[in-house]
Each structure stands twice: as C-alpha cells, then as structure tokens.
Copies of this chain bind each other. A is one copy, B any other.
Amino acid sequence: MHEGNRTEISTLGEFGLIKHLTEGIKLQNTESKYGVGDDAAVLEFKDQQVLVTTDLLMEGVHFDLVYTPLKHLGYKAAMVNFSDIYAMNGTPKQITLSVAISKRFCIEDLDDFYEGVKLACDLHHVDLIGGDTTASVTGLAISITCIGAADKKQVVYRNGAKETDLICVSGDLGAAYMGLQLMEREKAVFQGEKDVQPDFAGKEYLLERFLKPEARKDIIESLAKAGIKPTSMMDISDGLSSELMHICSQSKVGCRVYEERIPIDYQTAVMAEEFNMNLSTCALNGGEDYELLFTVPLTQHEEISKIKDIKIIGHITKAELGCALVTRDGNEMELKAQGWNHMEK
C-alpha cells in the first residue's frame, strides 16, 4: 500500500478513474480492433481459434498485501492468465481487467497495480482491451480474462496423452511454494515491528518465483521451432501431482514419474531442509510455479532432449496401472492430488 502521497479515488469519480488508468494504452495486435471505451471490445481473428481463460483473485485467499507489492500483484495476475493460454499452445493477445477496491486504496495504489499489469502485457505483446473499476466494501478483488489465438491444428488439450508418451516439465518446481512459506514465516516473525527488515539474502530466487512468476512463452516457441506439438499440456498452478492426475484422468491413461528426475532448484532444497519439509512433497504439491507440464511421443525423445530447460520426468502408461511416483529407492507411491485447495480456507 502506498505510504507517500495519497490521492483519494473519489477525487476522480468513476469515469475519471477509468480514463486515468487506461490513458495512453495503444493497441498493438492487429487482432485488437477496438479496446476500452464502448459497451464491448471488438476483436478480429483470421482463420485462428480463439482461446479464453479467466481468473478471479480475492484478497485474503489468493494474495496477502502484507507481503505482496501491488505492482507485483498486477504483474502476476496478468502472467498467470497468459500462462493458461500458452498451456493451450496458443498466444495471448488481449486481456480485460476488472478491479474492485475499498476506500483503503488510493489512486497511487491502483497506479502501481496497473503498472505491473501493463509491464506483463508489454513483455508478452498483449493488449488491455477493457474492464471495470468498481467499489468493494471490503478487500481487493481482481478479475482478469485473457483471450488468445492459435492455429486450429496447433491447439493442445489435456486429454491427448497416449501410452508410452514422455512426460516433460519446464524449469524447476517447488520454489514458489518455498517463497510463500518464507513470506509467511517472516510475516509471523516481524508483524508489528516496523523498522525490522527480514533478511532474504540467498533466497531471492524463491521470492521471485512466488512474487513474479514468468509465463513460459519461450518453451512454446522452442517446441514450435523444434517441430514438436505436445500430445497434452497444462500449466502447473496447483502442483505437479494434481496436474498430472488431471492429464491422466482426461486422457484416460496412467503414469510413472521418477522422483529423482523432478527438477528442483538448489535454493528450494536448502529451504525445505530449513523448514524440515520433505523436498519431493514440496515439488509435487507446491503450486504457483506456472511451469508447463506436457507429454510428447516417445519417438521425439531426441528432439525434446535437446531443448534447454525441459526435463523428462516419466512416461504415460495404461490407465490400469494408475498414477504413481517411483521413489529414489525404487518403490512406487500412488500420486495424490493434494494441490492447494483454496476452498478449504
């Protein structure tokens, strides 16, 4: 929250506020014909399929403003929607953004939030085409809808994984979850003591993974360049274990994933030890990494192995074999979709 100058939102009024926030927006994509300012935005896609994904983020459930700067929150809110479009093997093109805010927030807060959204949009060449700014009697609510495009034959669903396919993930897992744990710990320790700053030295990667995730456009581009179309794909928002089970249940297959092959960063491992947590459990069930999980035919083993930052972690089996993790000592443990169940809060 802004601590310097505070300009109350009421000074601008509803229409003034929308004007202030959307001023200077220029549409970059040829598919965006008309943006903010009418009853609806107008888009035009030529011979492409249109992808639509949406997210509703609530303060106190999906984010905690005690340790999430508004600019980061805006960036992340946009990024996780782009990630859903990449997970369909598409390209994000437009977003609409609606924000509900209470009187706690000032215009400078909203400016910070929008700055983060716009930065994410600029990086991914996405147009902000509409939305809404309204009041809330309590906390902050954010709703983003992202629209993307893909050639009809290139769209990848969750339901196409086939027996013997290789299971791949990008990047590394569990770091965002560790970043969250770290934030929660520091919040508990330091809450109320104003002049004490937590020391995050050596743990920057974990914080960045949690506060500023990056949608893996680069992976989609690498796959396209290598001529690989995954048989199934999704992004990892709830945790590897949970997402794998979605792919398997929708594809009507089973899987074997090898514990030793799950990519984990060094800082994640150090932190898990510090917290006395099981590292594999963190990597399997920690969410919000926004890496891509996908399957490719076994015949493309060589091509996929050459791509930087992609790791083969297992393979698809017949459905009857179920979904299991093969541990370091060679045992099989049934996968469970623990994920992050926001509904339990």
> How many copies of this chain are found per oligomer?
2
CB-based contact B135/A58 at 8 Å: yes
Tell yes or no: A141 within 8 A of B by CB.
yes
Query: Size range of the interface on A?
Result: 35 or more
Interface residue from B43, B52, B343 paired with A14 (Cβ < 8 Å): B343
CB-based contact B17/A343 at 8 Å: yes
- Kindly supply a per-residue 1/0 record for chain A positions 208-249, scoring 1 wherever the CB is within 8 Å of any chain B CB and 0 otherwise: 000000000000000000000000011100000000000000
Instruction: Report how far A45 CA is from B345 CA in the complex, Å.
Output: 40
CB-based contact A343/B132 at 8 Å: no
Instruction: Report how far A342 CA is from B55 CA in the complex, Å.
Output: 23
Tell yes or no: A323 within 8 A of B by CB.
no
Whole-angstrom distance between the Cβ of A81 and the nearest chain B Cβ: 9
Tell yes or no: A327 within 8 A of B by CB.
no
Q: With contacts A14-B341, A39-B88, A52-B129 known, what are 7 further pairs, Cβ within 8 A? A: A14-B339, A14-B342, A39-B158, A40-B52, A40-B87, A41-B51, A134-B342
Tell yes or no: A131 within 8 A of B by CB.
yes
Whole-angstrom distance between the Cβ of A38 and the nearest chain B Cβ: 5
CB-based contact B130/A54 at 8 Å: yes
Instruction: Report how far A233 CA is from B13 CA in the complex, Å.
Output: 24
Instruction: Report how far A98 CA is from B339 CA in the complex, Å.
Output: 20
Q: Of residues 116 to 132 in A, which have CB atoms within 8 Å of B's CB atoms? A: 129-132
Interface residue from B41, B53, B129, B143 paired with A143 (Cβ < 8 Å): B143
CB-based contact B58/A134 at 8 Å: yes
CB-based contact A145/B56 at 8 Å: no
CB-based contact B41/A53 at 8 Å: yes
Tell yes or no: A313 within 8 A of B by CB.
no
CB-based contact B343/A56 at 8 Å: no
Tell yes or no: A44 within 8 A of B by CB.
yes
Which residues of chain B are within 8 angstroms of A88 by Cβ–Cβ distance?
A: 38-40, 42
Instruction: Report how far A139 CA is from B60 CA in the complex, Å.
Output: 12
* Nearest B-chain residue to A344, judged by Cβ: B10
Tell yes or no: A295 within 8 A of B by CB.
no
CB-based contact A56/B341 at 8 Å: no
Q: A49-B33, A139-B137 known; A145 and B148 CB under 8 Å?
A: no
Which residues of chain B are within 8 angstroms of A157 by Cβ–Cβ distance?
A: 34, 38
CB-based contact A13/B145 at 8 Å: no
CB-based contact B98/A54 at 8 Å: yes
Interface residue from B49, B98, B235 paired with A39 (Cβ < 8 Å): B235
